[in-house]
Structure 1
């Protein structure tokens, strides 16, 4: 009897050890890479680096930011889409590579609607319709009148063909019934400098880039594209307030994983992101940059991505816009 009991106990121990050996290691058990699909510098990169530090403190492993710029963000996000779905390669998704650029090419390296597992938003900002400081129009209504009086003469810059500012410019033309001259530049800073140098009239500028110029009086502003007024620019109306709700679009940054990443990993990251986004220093730093620290659940982030993809794809198709 004693021998039988002993054998049974040993069997239970072996079974328990085997089950334990099959359990996955606690996540994370090693360093995690966050791919930022843009060059270092700017609000997108800053937010990723601050969040990486906060995640490292919470989860006990290094979260390392890796910048992989190029092709409107598709190089970096393409690497994330192809990465092993284990939570150790993540992406810092934003508007262009997550809802715009892949729809502008016939053979994109990934489908932003299916290639990723959304984890959490980290920040929301807006585009601000800005102009060179000496443009005659004092407000949005005056701007529309000016453009209608000189069809094709008022110019609007963008950060390149097919960029979000370009698509917003096309939407503005349709919404207001005006004809604007599109002038594409290599990047946003080039368009801002062109406005400062009075070489171009208008641009949809990211609020983070526009805020210091507007406060210094070096640019003129007309409206922001967020649903509610921007805390950094509270005196500027929203496009919805001006009767143009169709021009409501956020700039967003957020954490995504490759599609197929285990739900337990996504949930652990989402819980850590909730705490990170609530960090007082992070929120204050983002506010000073003209960005609102904004978290979300994976489901809420997925819904935002769906909405952005549907709207931008519609604009691209209706205007027959392509970068090829």
Structure 2
């Protein structure tokens, strides 16, 4: 009986391995969806579409980008977390949904460590502090002085509650000792559109969505939120250079799948993602968006998400924003 049981166990293992190999060979066999948890026009959408186009070519299947905005990205994130873990519904991960929301919302509806499987990192980029040309401040120091002279009367826009722009703005206000009023939008695109129209004087928005308008003179760039200047706006100083000590708040992008997605699917997607990021075409497009490419293994991205969530939970606390 022991011999029969051992043989049966071996057969089951062999069948399992065989099904995995077969699955790896046939995946993907239909269209893949990349969920971007924000409306079109924002930086996450821009990055997601660049990656989707190249990975589609590499995988031999169509990849559509599905923009599902709402609640600072948590609507789309929850939808992906509850999706079938078959490799056909993925999310373009972003600092706001994977690192900020768990601290900002008492119940975000998902756990970034338990409900998602990391596929790999894409890159990182700073936010930018930009103002309408009619705003009197031409430097960060002047903006701080103006806000101190007009407490609670200066508004700033962001992609929504719980986004990097929101928390970065609150963090800036706390660091500078000023009171500014947050105006949430349903994405970076709408926020920048209202800023261009003069409906708000200031915004913390991803550099990808503001650089073109700054170069065209339609907006004034006061600072970027990284510790180094960004090639997209080389003449715009960092917050640290502008006098805000130790200021560092960059956003990161990556690709994640629902928990339970088979390992062979994750490996195949990671290989395609890394190949895409190594292509000259993708490098050029992401650099034009101000994104620094940082490819990784699934394990490295998991470690990054863990550390990033801890970092931003501290920034949420430092910003003074109360959990919702």
Q: TM-score range by the shorter chain?
A: 0.7 to 0.9
Q: CA deviation at 1:220?
A: 1.1
Q: CA deviation at 1:48?
A: 2.2
Q: Which residue of 2 aligns with 1:8?
A: none
Q: Which residue of 1 aligns with 2:322?
A: 321
Contact 2:41 2:188 in 1 (8 A): no
Distance 1:57 1:142, change over 3 A: same
Distance 1:21 1:261, change over 3 A: closer
Distance 1:201 1:37, change over 3 A: closer
Find the aligned partners of 2:86 and 2:76 in 1 and give their Cα distance.
17
Q: CA deviation at 1:139?
A: 1.6
Distance 1:189 1:296, change over 3 A: same
Find the aligned partners of 2:16 and 2:204 in 1 and give their Cα distance.
55
Q: CA deviation at 1:16?
A: 8.5
SS at match of 1:247: coil
Q: Which residue of 1 aligns with 2:130?
A: 130
SS at match of 2:151: coil
Distance 1:218 1:299, change over 3 A: same
Distance 1:53 1:114, change over 3 A: same
Contact 2:100 2:163 in 1 (8 A): yes
SS at match of 2:91: strand
Contact 1:80 1:89 in 2 (8 A): yes
- State whether structure 2 residue 29 is matched by structure 1 residue 30: yes
Q: CA deviation at 1:203?
A: 1.4
* Pairs within 5 Å for 1:42-81: 42-81=42-81
- State whether structure 2 residue 208 is matched by structure 1 residue 213: no
Q: Residue by residue, what CA displacement relative to the aligned partner does 1:253-283 show, whole Å, maximum 9, x if unpaired?
A: 2111222334443233222211101211122
Contact 1:30 1:62 in 2 (8 A): no
* Pairs within 5 Å for 1:8-27: 19=14, 23=18, 24=20, 25-27=22-24
Contact 1:56 1:63 in 2 (8 A): yes
TM-score (norm 1): 0.83
Find the aligned partners of 1:262 and 1:236 in 2 and give their Cα distance.
44
Q: Residue by residue, what CA displacement relative to the aligned partner does 1:108-156 show, whole Å, maximum 9, x if unpaired?
A: 2211232212111223222101112133322222222332333333332
Find the aligned partners of 1:99 and 1:21 in 2 and give their Cα distance.
35
| Number of positions where the alignment pairs a residue of Structure 1 with one of Structure 2 | 310
Contact 1:118 1:299 in 2 (8 A): yes
Contact 1:162 1:321 in 2 (8 A): no
Unaligned runs of 5+ in 2: 1-6
SS at match of 2:92: strand
Contact 1:162 1:322 in 2 (8 A): no
Q: Which residue of 1 aligns with 2:108?
A: 108
Find the aligned partners of 2:86 and 2:95 in 1 and give their Cα distance.
24
Q: Which residue of 1 aligns with 2:156?
A: 156
Q: Which residue of 1 aligns with 2:252?
A: 252
Find the aligned partners of 1:302 and 1:245 in 2 and give their Cα distance.
30
Q: Which residue of 1 aligns with 2:88?
A: 88
Contact 1:99 1:312 in 2 (8 A): yes
Unaligned runs of 5+ in 1: 1-11
Ranges of 4+ aligned residues in structure 1 off by more than 6 Å? 15-18
